[in-house]
Structure formats: C-alpha cells, structure tokens
C-alpha cells in the first residue's frame, strides 16, 4: 500500500518544476521542503513579498498551479528515506514541535539543492564572517544586510549578485575580491552562454555604487575579538599563494568558493555518484534524471551545480520521465528533444564556469597552525597534520584520529577542506540521518500513520 506516486524533496526551481510536471501528468504528488515558503535558496524571499529575479514570474505561476494539484508539506525536514521492494518511506519532522511525519511513495525525486563551499582561513569563525550564500539568504529572506561595511571574497560569478544586492540595500561594499584571474571577455562563459546582459548588469551595479572589483585577490585572514573589525586582503599568484597583502576595515565578510551539492538522501539509497568538474561528488543521472537506483530521480544541484535555469529544466525532465516510467510505457521518449538540448547547453555552461573558477591549492598556504578547520569540533590545522603524521592517508582516517566533521554539521562545512588537506577529492559521505532528530521525535514515530 503506497500513499503517493511521487514524493519530491526540495521546493526550489527543480523540485517545484518536477512536482508540477508529474502532477499535471496525473500523478498523486507530495512536495516536502524544510522552509516555510517555496523557493529554495535561489528564490528565497521574505514572508511579505514574492520571489524576484530571473524567472521569478514563471516560478510564482508554477507554485500557484502546484498548490491546486499536489500536497505541499512546508516546514517539513526530511531526515531519512528507506526503501523496500515496493515503496519508499520518507521520514520527516513537521514544524518546530518536530512531529514525526511518514510518507510512502512509489518514486522519489531528490531536489535538495546545494550549500556554500567555504574555505578555512585564520579568523573565519569570527562573528561577522558569513558564507556568501548566508549573506544572500539574510538579505533576501530576512531583509537584513550582514553589515554596514562589507567585504565580499572568494571565487565565481555568485560573488557579483551578493555584492550588488548588499550595495543596493545600502551597505558599503569595501571590495569584491575574486581569487581567480580576469578572463578575456570573449572567453567568459557567461558571455558565451548569452548571459552578457546579466554579467553587465552586475558590473554596472557595482560601478554605480563605486565598489572596487579586484581579481587575483582574496581575504586570507579576518581579525577582531568579538566581531570582525578588519581583514587581510592578499594579492595572489595564479595558484593562490600570497604575493603581498594589505588591511581592509569592515564589520562583515561574505566568502564563497562555490557550492556543495546536497546528495545525502541519494547516497543513503545507494545511488551511484561521480565527481563534477569542480571535484564535488554528484548524483549520476540519465536524460530522464533517473539515478542508478530504480524509481529514484534527482534534479538540480545534486546532479551538479548549474543554477536555477538548469535546475528547473531538470525538474521538468524528471517529472515527465517519472510519469512515463510509472505508467510503464515502453518505448517512446518521455523527455522532449528540445528540453534535452537546452539542458545540454546549460550543463556545458555550468561546466565552463566551474573550469573558469577553480579552487587553487595555494589557499592552504593561508592557514596558520592554529587556524580552525572544523568549526564544530574546533579542530585546528595542526591536529589534522598530526593525524597525517600518525599515518592517516585520507579524510576518513583523519576524521577518526582528529575529529574534523564529527560535530553538529557532520562535515558539511569542513568536509571539502579536510579532503584537500588529506590529499584527496571529497568523497560522497554516507549520513544515515541527514537532519538532527530528537529522541522524542523518534519515540513518537510508531504512533504516526503513513500516508
């Protein structure tokens, strides 16, 4: 006995498009999201307003249509998915009282997005230092700029909307420091992908607010006692070793070095993974967004970070493929050729961006012995190096000896850095419980009737 034809985990562009396509094909669909509103990180918006930005009108229309065709379970945190011969059981917690909720379904779409990939540097745990995505979430979702005088640093085009947004909100942006070099304009992937207008728009916004934009520069240390008061900004060589440095005063820093796809549920279910161009583990899918596990689909950033437009496209492809597969229709192609071709173009663009903005190994030279790598367990670089001296040869053995990644966040923040320090690419981490769950919630699961 299964409740839904499809449960979609994640209410961003991929999840909403996937749920809607499947529901419009006649499937009984539930969409589950941890947040209070649909939108994910890209369309994150305040309670009192609608999403804004590229594609927002279409997203709002999709959400309206979805409300009448599917069950929306917002404020629901999914902490595990189980699979037996016939169905999936999705375990979640509802609301702040963390009431257990159990859903059963015939197929599952994982559209769980991504989170920032920060790099450690001295002082990065001082209050006032934010991930770039965190600064953006605070501004878009809450209407609060991270500071009055902000430095934006890291690599990749995401730094531009973060800086432009802060400047437009009245913050003084003391600089945008892009650790990689300035690409020849003609070579830039944003231009090649016909995104000239978007790139120029951010450039114009920064120029209007007189925000300095420096390539081959990065924040390599943050200083202060109770809160960041200034940062060391370094000029870098192409491998990110420091050539010279100066001090910039600020009361907040936003730092981002790309994104980490959230693939925990797919790994729990045994889906095959591969490494994307930037080294992140991602879920392997076919043109219908099918993973290697029957009836499990993935769309959006879990299949490789590619932005909102690609996420929506993959969501639609997944929804169509799921409807097709559940009807057990043999032959025929559920995903129209035009969707597949647009997807291929957007994926090529995403790959070009990842190749244009790599993380270079010189960041490790910014670290001091006492720089924390794992913020939760307060593990300094020296402890990780000791573990290597003791014979650890990979991130997992470093973790067992020195405890980075053993705390609250379970390595989501430090995992990339620990892997790099251990000399390997980040591996797909198996986390049997993907959200912390209280014993009280576990105890009450028995009383919950699956639906």
Partner 1 sequence: MNFEITVDGRAVPVVAGQSVGAALHAAGITSWRSTRHEGRPRGLFCGIGVCFDCLVTVNGRESQRACLVRARPGDEVTTS
Out of 131, 153, 289, 360, which residue is the one contacting partner 1 (CB under 8 A)? 131
| Six-digit token string for 103 | 């859903």
Q: Which is nearer to partner 1, 74 or 348 (CB)?
A: 74
Within 36-95, the residues that bind partner 1 by CB under 8 A are 36, 41, 46-48
H helices of 48-131, where? Answer: 56-69
b vs e for 15-54, b when ≥16 Cβ sit within 10 Å of the residue's Cβ? Answer: bbbbbbbbbbbebbbbbbbbbebbbbbbbbbeeeeebeee
User: In the stretch 375-394, what mask flags binding to partner 1 with x, by CB under 8 A?
Assistant: xx-x----------------
Out of 116, 278, 301, 314, which residue is the one contacting partner 1 (CB under 8 A)? 116
Q: Which is nearer to partner 1, 141 or 358 (CB)?
A: 141
Q: Which is nearer to partner 1, 138 or 373 (CB)?
A: 138
Residue 405 engages partner 1 in binding (rule: CB under 8 A): no
- Shortest distance, position 128 Cβ to partner 1, whole Å: 6
Residues 6+ positions from 249 with CB-CB distance below 8 Å: 149, 174, 229, 230
Residue 369 engages partner 1 in binding (rule: CB under 8 A): no
10 Å CB burial of residue 209 (0-12, 13-18, 19+) is middle
**Nearest by Cα to 371 from 338, 417, 405, 408:** 417
Alpha-carbon torsion, ordered 365, 371, 375, 377, to 10 deg: 120
Within 143-172, the residues that bind partner 1 by CB under 8 A are 143-144, 146
Q: Which is nearer to partner 1, 322 or 437 (CB)?
A: 437
CA 14, CA 71: separation in Å to the nearest integer?
Answer: 16
Greatest alpha-carbon pair distance for the chain in Å reads 66
CA 403, CA 10: separation in Å to the nearest integer?
Answer: 30
Out of 82, 142, 237, 355, which residue is the one contacting partner 1 (CB under 8 A)? 142
Q: Which stretch binds partner 1 (CB under 8 A): 158-166, 355-363, 387-395, 406-414?
A: 406-414
Q: Which stretch binds partner 1 (CB under 8 A): 82-90, 122-130, 234-242, 267-275?
A: 122-130
CB 254 within 8 A of CB 166: yes
- Shortest distance, position 34 Cβ to partner 1, whole Å: 7
The binding site for partner 1 (CB under 8 A) comprises 34, 36, 41, 46-48, 96, 115-116, 125-131, 133-138, 141-144, 146, 226-227, 375-376, 378, 407-409, 412-413
């Amino acid at each position: 006995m299964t409740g839904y034809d499809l449960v979609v985990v994640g209410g961003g562009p991929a999840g909403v498009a996937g749920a809607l396509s499947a529901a419009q094909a006649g499937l009984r669909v539930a969409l589950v999201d941890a947040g209070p509103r649909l939108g994910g990180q890209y369309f994150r918006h305040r309670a009192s307003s609608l999403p804004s930005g590229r594609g927002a009108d279409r997203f709002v229309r999709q959400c309206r249509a979805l409300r009448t065709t599917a069950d929306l379970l917002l404020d629901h945190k999914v902490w595990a998915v189980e699979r037996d011969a016939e169905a999936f059981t999705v375990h979640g917690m509802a609301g702040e009282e963390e009431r257990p909720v159990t859903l059963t379904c015939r197929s599952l779409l994982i559209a769980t997005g991504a989170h920032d990939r920060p790099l450690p540097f001295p002082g990065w745990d001082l209050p006032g230092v934010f991930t770039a995505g965190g600064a953006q979430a605070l501004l878009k979702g809450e209407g609060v700029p991270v500071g009055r005088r902000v430095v934006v640093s890291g690599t990749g085009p995401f730094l531009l909307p973060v800086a432009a947004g802060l400047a437009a909100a009245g913050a003084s942006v003391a600089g945008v420091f892009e650790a990689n070099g300035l690409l020849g304009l003609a070579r830039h992937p944003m231009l090649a992908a016909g995104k000239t207008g978007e790139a120029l728009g951010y450039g114009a916004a920064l120029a209007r607010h007189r925000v300095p934009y420096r390539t081959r520069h990065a924040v390599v240390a943050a200083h202060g006692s109770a809160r960041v008061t200034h940062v060391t900004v370094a000029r870098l060589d192409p491998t990110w070793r420091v050539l010279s440095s100066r001090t910039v005063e600020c009361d907040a820093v936003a730092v981002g070095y790309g994104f980490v796809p959230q693939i925990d549920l797919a790994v729990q279910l045994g889906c095959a993974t591969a490494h994307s161009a930037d080294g992140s583990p991602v879920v392997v899918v076919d043109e219908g967004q099918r993973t290697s596990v029957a009836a499990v689909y993935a769309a959006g950033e879990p299949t490789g970070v590619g932005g909102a437009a690609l996420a929506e496209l993959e969501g639609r492809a997944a929804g169509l493929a799921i409807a097709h597969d559940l009807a057990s229709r043999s032959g025929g192609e559920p995903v129209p050729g035009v969707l597949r071709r647009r997807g291929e173009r957007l994926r090529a663009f995403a790959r070009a961006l990842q190749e244009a903005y790599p993380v270079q190994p010189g960041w490790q030279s910014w670290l001091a012995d006492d720089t924390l790598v794992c913020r939760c367990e307060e593990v300094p670089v020296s402890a990780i190096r000791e573990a290597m001296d003791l014979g650890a040869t990979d991130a997992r053995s470093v973790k067992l000896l020195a405890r980075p990644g053993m705390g609250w966040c379970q390595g989501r923040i430090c995992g990339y850095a620990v892997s790099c320090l251990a000399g390997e690419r980040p591996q797909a981490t198996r986390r049997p419980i993907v959200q912390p769950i209280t014993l009280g919630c576990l105890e009450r699961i028995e009383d919950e009737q699956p639906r």
